[in-house]
Amino acid sequence: MINADRLMRIMYKELDFNLFALNKLDTENKSVAENGMKQFSMFDLKNDQFIKILKNKYLEVYPDNYNMDEVNIIIEEQKQNIQNKFGQTNTLFLFPFYAEKLFKFVNSHIRVDFNDILEWDGFINKVDGNIFIAAFLASNNINSNAYQPDEIISHTNNRLYKILDKGVAENHMHLKASGYTSDLNWVTLLGHKIFDTEALTKFVSNENNFGKLKTSGKKNEDIILYIQKIKLVRIYLMQFIDVYKSDNKYFLEEKKKEYTDYCISEKEMYRMLVVNTSVELEVFREKIQKVERIRRHNFRINTADIKQSYLIERKFLTELFTILLNNEFTRFFMYLFNFYLAGLNLIKFEFVQDNIGMGFGKFKEKESVKEGFLNNNLLIYESVFDKYYKEGNIKKIEIRIAPKSKKDLIKLIDTLNKTNEKYYRKYKAKNEAISKIEYGIIIHYIKNSDSLNNGDNISMWRNKKMRVSLDRESKKTSSFFSLSAASHLYKIKIIGIDAANVELRCRPEVFGPVFRKHRLESKKSNNLNFTYHVGEEFNTICNGLRAIDEVVEFLNFRRNDRLGHALALGMEIKTYFTKKRNFLTSTLQDYVDDIIWMYYLVASENSVDYHSNMLLYLAEEFEKYSKKLFCNTKLCFEFSMYDYMCAYQLRGDNPSEYKVSEVFECRKMMIYENIMKKPNKKYQLNSDNKKHQEAFMNKKAQKLYYLYHNNLLLRQQGQQTEIFEVQSYYIEAVELAQNLLQKKIYEKGISVEVNPSSNRKISSITKFIDLPAFGINRVGLKKESLKDLDYHIPVSINTDDSSIFQTNLNNEYSMLAAALFRYGFANEDVYQYIEYLRKSSLEQSFIREVPF
Ligand SMILES: [Zn+2]
């Protein structure tokens, strides 16, 4: 199966949609088949022209992996495969071919062989999984009305399921990106009227969507027209199925009137597809509206059967594959089927996450389209509970949502309670053993990048906009904590605070005051916990590590708190730099900060002598680049490395506390304590931090801190990006810093939320076995070639955005296990590790049955 997934990605997601452009009808006398001859033979592996296009695209997408000869072999092999099995060469037959290889029908369930689950994951990262499932149902003659396959296909390793059956907790998921959200979006898009393009235009013109098409020169209008055509083709294919299913003759004769009025003829369809602009499509408006009116109900999903979110499309595709496998297609039909599948993949992957060229930058953009076309949140909530109850072994879920007003939060809790109860009863009726899911809510603040261009001028400190909006948002949360005792049942539902989204130019320091404030507020109820998305997106690994440390230092993280992702903590440093060919790209400010951070982290250890050369190197780098950083600012005072370090330590403070020209005069300890006693200062200044007082008492440090925030020249200079060639001392220092940070996190009792699919895709790791998680915890997993870890940091396995990543919680554990088996760990060790992770997830959950 190697390479087949890549080839299918090229065919169904990467080819230019102009490949489908039909010639205008030559004469009315010629048939559709005669007119479209050239296009109709595309997607045929016998067609040399198509193969040429395919090969070039393949080498363009995977330039490092293959040469022309290898691609030839890959394509030829696929051709042989389908020719031998089906006597056909159209690429559509690859779907039933691989579906048959991947799936089995066991105990009336579709299952993927456990040995193949990583391959299956490879396919669905490139092409929508529903297509394979539909192809399998069709080739096994399984009636898609009577049989409803699960949304996420389970595997054949029963022992693994039995271990997980004892119960797991989901400690990291976002409400709006879980459940069946992506499918819901797709069906909602299909249900919108073709000429009602308002939502569509908004979706397409969003600068974060369809980036690749836009860079290849496609205009928004082109993309909108293309999507309109896909919707049209969908309707035509539905009609094709109806005609196919009914007795053909009867349909044509008895319903002739209806047919001509409410159906599109082959020629009409052809004419609609050759239009080049939306204006040309207008000619067909009346007809199209008539036809879609009688079919739109097909896209309606109601809360009585939320599974329709994904079943609608599967059923439709199953019927198409049935026609295909019965060899009752026309060439036009095959053309339209291919047209539709390519469109489906192209658009749907704008809702979901694939692992291709995926950096965090692209992903965070997806966060904003997650809601896409849906305006009925209840459908999302229902789908979330349906999906978790379906898994059967989920004990607790921590649901992440954006901040809400007290009123909205209460409303949401009521709705979630009701939905939870509904699905509990529904599944309890089927399975007596199922227990009610306990859920809690985590409020996550959304991080936004700072920019010197967005109005943050000299009179404003860094991240001013973000800080102001954060303050506003946090008041909503605070007001919730002040609810009267009578509202206890609501209050206990809020179990944690988090911050998510971009990390670049929005460092943890921004969140110091608000997190500390919430910690104070929650002291009474002692029910609130803290976590933070960090070390996931970074320009350099050192930068990611430092961000993790900043969460600990500036947000006062401690025992029972957790970190979200923290990829930098477990990544292999040498491999990282080899991949980067020993170069790093960093802003000047970040580079200097990274150097000072590493210097003091290393120096604070006892073994200073041992690392003296490394420290000397770091000190020289600091000297060189801090000069450069400050070169434009006419600073009239000298400062030392130590002063700079102290200034860095003050970053957990709120810059609004530092007044323009003065610094706090506090040479004496007494004065420091008096300042910190003032009511607001308790959280505006980071005085709980052990290093704060010493830093605060350093006048130069205060001045440097003030400049860091308020000096425009310094900020401009700090934003300059440079390429640095990395010396071996630097790499050693990062390695050591990572190790010391691991030790620190371990000793503090902080744990890490691991999200395997999400982590793999965002960090552009190609294999599960390379997940950073294995770099911080592999309790009981032994191998001769593998060095034992000094510290195993507690971790839990979670889904993050299960709809976007096409996964569920059990599937995440399963893929980890499969990767470990494949890597050669002993079977019994792997099962024990999974059991350990399962228990850990419950232990680390913020939800407790017994109130604190
Ligand atoms: Zn997340």
Question: What is the C-alpha separation between 440 and 525, in angstroms, rounded?
Answer: 15
Question: What is the crossing angle of helices 266-273 and 331-351, to 10°?
Answer: 50
Map tokens 């308002």 to a residue.
198
Burial 443-457, CB ≥16 within 10 A → b, else e: bbbbbbebebeeebe
Lowest-pLDDT choice from 405-414, 626-635, 722-731: 626-635
Ligand 1 centre from 800 Cα, in Å? 5
Q: Say if CB 813 and CB 838 are below 8 A apart.
A: yes
Ligand 1 centre from 308 Cα, in Å? 27
Ligand 1 centre from 565 Cα, in Å? 8
Ligand 1 centre from 211 Cα, in Å? 23
Average pLDDT for residues 778-782, to the nearest whole number?
94
Ligand 1 centre from 432 Cα, in Å? 33
Residue 484: band (very low, low, confident or very high) from pLDDT cuts 50, 70, 90: confident
38, 132, 344 from 144: Cα distances, Å: 34, 14, 20
Question: What is the C-alpha separation between 59 and 10, in angstroms, rounded?
Answer: 10
What lies within 8 Å, CB to CB, of 84 at 6+ separation is: none
Q: Which of 130-144, 237-251, 388-402 has the highest mean pLDDT?
A: 388-402
State both tokens at 359.
């950096």
Residue 300: band (very low, low, confident or very high) from pLDDT cuts 50, 70, 90: confident
Question: What is the C-alpha separation between 376 and 393, in angstroms, rounded?
Answer: 28
Question: What is the C-alpha separation between 645 and 651, in angstroms, rounded?
Answer: 10
**Which phi and psi (to 5°) does residue 191 adopt?**
-75, -20
Residues in the chain: 852
Q: Rg of the chain's alpha carbons, rounded to an integer?
A: 29
Q: What value, to the nearest 5°, has the Cα angle with vertex 217 and ends 212 and 222?
A: 90
Ligand 1 centre from 346 Cα, in Å? 24
Ligand 1 centre from 772 Cα, in Å? 16
Question: What is the C-alpha separation between 156 and 116, in angstroms, rounded?
Answer: 10
Task: State residue 335's pLDDT score.
Answer: 94
pLDDT digits (tens, 9 = 90+) for 197-235: 888 898 888 877 888 889 889 999 999 999 999 999 999
Q: Is the pLDDT of residue 364 over 50?
A: no
Ligand 1 centre from 466 Cα, in Å? 19
Ligand 1 centre from 536 Cα, in Å? 10
Ligand 1 centre from 400 Cα, in Å? 8
Lowest-pLDDT choice from 163-167, 206-210, 365-369, 420-424: 365-369
**Which phi and psi (to 5°) does residue 432 adopt?**
-60, -30
Ligand 1 centre from 500 Cα, in Å? 6
Ligand 1 centre from 213 Cα, in Å? 28
Lowest-pLDDT choice from 61-70, 495-504, 690-699, 826-835: 61-70
CB atoms within 10 A of CB 149: 22
Ligand 1 centre from 693 Cα, in Å? 34
Ligand 1 centre from 796 Cα, in Å? 13
Ligand 1 centre from 814 Cα, in Å? 20
**Which phi and psi (to 5°) does residue 533 adopt?**
-70, 115
Question: What is the C-alpha separation between 194 and 260, in angstroms, rounded?
Answer: 20
More reliable by pLDDT, 176 or 451 = 176
Ligand 1 centre from 801 Cα, in Å? 7
Ligand 1 centre from 87 Cα, in Å? 47
Ligand 1 centre from 662 Cα, in Å? 41
Ligand 1 centre from 564 Cα, in Å? 7
CB atoms within 10 A of CB 66: 18
- Label residue 847 exposed, middle or buried (CB < 10 Å: 0-12, 13-18, 19+): buried
Question: What is the C-alpha separation between 230 and 380, in angstroms, rounded?
Answer: 25
User: Which of 177, 355, 350, 351 lies closest to 761 in space, CA to CA?
Assistant: 355
Q: Is the pLDDT of residue 797 over 60?
A: yes
Ligand 1 centre from 627 Cα, in Å? 38
Residues forming a β-bridge with 851: none
Ligand 1 centre from 278 Cα, in Å? 39
Question: What is the C-alpha separation between 826 and 783, in angstroms, rounded?
Answer: 9
Ligand 1 centre from 174 Cα, in Å? 6
Residue 90 per-residue DSSP state: B
Secondary structure of residue 489 in the 3-state scheme:
helix
Ligand 1 centre from 239 Cα, in Å? 42
Ligand 1 centre from 74 Cα, in Å? 37
> Could you tell me the sign of the dihedral formed by the alpha carbons of 68, 70, 71, 75, in that order?
positive
Ligand 1 centre from 754 Cα, in Å? 10
Q: Is the pLDDT of residue 352 over 90?
A: no
Question: What is the C-alpha separation between 77 and 395, in angstroms, rounded?
Answer: 46
What lies within 8 Å, CB to CB, of 772 at 6+ separation is: 566, 567, 568, 569, 570, 571, 759, 763, 765
Question: What is the C-alpha separation between 81 and 592, in angstroms, rounded?
Answer: 57
User: Which of 274, 338, 232, 323 lies closest to 36 in space, CA to CA?
Assistant: 274
Task: Fill in the amino acid letter for 242.
Answer: D
Q: Which of 16-30, 290-304, 522-536, 614-628 has the highest mean pLDDT?
A: 614-628
Ligand 1 centre from 193 Cα, in Å? 34
Ligand 1 centre from 838 Cα, in Å? 19
Q: Is the pLDDT of residue 798 over 50?
A: yes
Ligand 1 centre from 819 Cα, in Å? 23
Secondary structure of residue 788 in the 3-state scheme:
coil
Ligand 1 centre from 833 Cα, in Å? 24
Task: State residue 531's pLDDT score.
Answer: 97
Question: What is the C-alpha separation between 815 and 125, in angstroms, rounded?
Answer: 14
pLDDT digits (tens, 9 = 90+) for 188-199: 999 999 999 888
Q: Is the pLDDT of residue 124 over 80?
A: yes
User: Which of 214, 196, 174, 186 lies closest to 372 in space, CA to CA?
Assistant: 186
Ligand 1 centre from 140 Cα, in Å? 38
Q: Say if CB 800 and CB 172 are below 8 A apart.
A: yes
Report the chain's mean pLDDT, rounded to a whole number. 88
Ligand 1 centre from 351 Cα, in Å? 16
Question: What is the C-alpha separation between 527 and 523, in angstroms, rounded?
Answer: 8
Q: Say if CB 165 and CB 270 are below 8 A apart.
A: no
CB atoms within 10 A of CB 791: 13
Secondary structure of residue 84 in the 3-state scheme:
helix
Q: Say if CB 406 and CB 483 are below 8 A apart.
A: yes
Please compute, for residue 68, the number of CA atoms within 13 A of its CA located in the half-sphere on the CB side.
4
Ligand 1 centre from 758 Cα, in Å? 8
Ligand 1 centre from 669 Cα, in Å? 42
Task: Fill in the amino acid letter for 503.
Answer: E
Ligand 1 centre from 748 Cα, in Å? 23
Task: State residue 424's pLDDT score.
Answer: 98
Ligand 1 centre from 197 Cα, in Å? 32
In 137-182, the DSSP E strands lie at 154-155, 168-174
Strands 109-112 and 103-106: antiparallel
Question: What is the C-alpha separation between 778 and 837, in angstroms, rounded?
Answer: 10
Question: What is the C-alpha separation between 364 and 177, in angstroms, rounded?
Answer: 12
Average pLDDT for residues 38-49, to the nearest whole number?
91
Ligand 1 centre from 563 Cα, in Å? 11
Ligand 1 centre from 40 Cα, in Å? 44
Task: State residue 366's pLDDT score.
Answer: 44
CB atoms within 10 A of CB 410: 16
Task: State residue 116's pLDDT score.
Answer: 95
Residue 29 per-residue DSSP state: T
Map tokens 């004496």 to a residue.
668
Q: Is the pLDDT of residue 358 over 50?
A: no
**Which phi and psi (to 5°) does residue 111 adopt?**
-130, 150
Ligand 1 centre from 421 Cα, in Å? 26
- Label residue 512 exposed, middle or buried (CB < 10 Å: 0-12, 13-18, 19+): buried
Task: Fill in the amino acid letter for 771.
Answer: L
Ligand 1 centre from 401 Cα, in Å? 10
Ligand 1 centre from 849 Cα, in Å? 24
Ligand 1 centre from 759 Cα, in Å? 10
Ligand 1 centre from 314 Cα, in Å? 29
